[in-house]
Amino acid sequence: MTRTKEKIKKRSYSPFLINRKSIYGVLEIIFSELKNSIYKSLDKESSKEKKVLNYVKEKAIKNDPESVLKIIDDCGYNKFFLMNIGDHKGKILDDYVLESKAQKVLELGVYLGYSTIRIARNLSKNSRLYSIDANKDFLEIAQEHLEFSGLHDKVTFYNGKASEVIPRLNEKFDFVFIDHRKEAYLTDLKLLIENNCLNDGAIIFADNIVLFHLEDYLEFVRTNPIFESKFIPTLREYSSSHPDGIEVSYFRK
């Protein structure tokens, strides 16, 4: 292992001491999602995701991605817990997407299309975003958000598990954003490698690695010679206290 990787590994593992704030952060998410599930079972229109879409259509400016992002962020801070990357971590995502100058980007986990909008608005004219989500209802809402934002022509959506879609893509990516099922981070990254889906120098941007304590994923990208990884400490989306973090890994053939 190189001296650089030793420093990265030593520095990056330090946030993974379980503390009350990280436990409370996960419990808050679980409680919020349980409450929303009950509301959805009573009335589909009352789901928080559908309400966010309605707020966007009512208050945002059509064909203005920044306006749409602002309304979704407002909902995340003041109305509901939303599983978006959020504004603070989103700005970090923006920087790395721009740095990559990516022609083809893969997004694992779409939810409401918030990160989809953030990525798509930073792509060059001939670039394309491929976005995968297993939840059909979320994907339909995301598509409406992209249509409203005026960015739908930059994105190809896939409904299904990433593990089933990836082998059928037949594409090579310069940037991969991972924010779907946490237990699938590592298996789907390995699947991308096995299917030769990563260009040399591709950036892998993984969210929520502290909040969900993703040590198996971190061990793989930090000790494998095909990656150079960097840890970025953050707070959980729309939170002022719950710790989280991002792992950015550069793929080297």
Contact (CB, 8 A) for 230 and 247 = yes
Contact (CB, 8 A) for 177 and 115 = yes
Catalytic residue positions, numbered: 179, 182, 207-208, 237
Q: Look up residue 80 and give its two tokens.
A: 């509901």
- What are the residues whose beta carbons fall under 8 Å from the beta carbon of 47, sequence distance 6 or more? 36, 39, 40, 137
- What are the residues whose beta carbons fall under 8 Å from the beta carbon of 125, sequence distance 6 or more? none
Task: Determine how β-strand 173-178 pairs with β-strand 198-206.
Answer: parallel
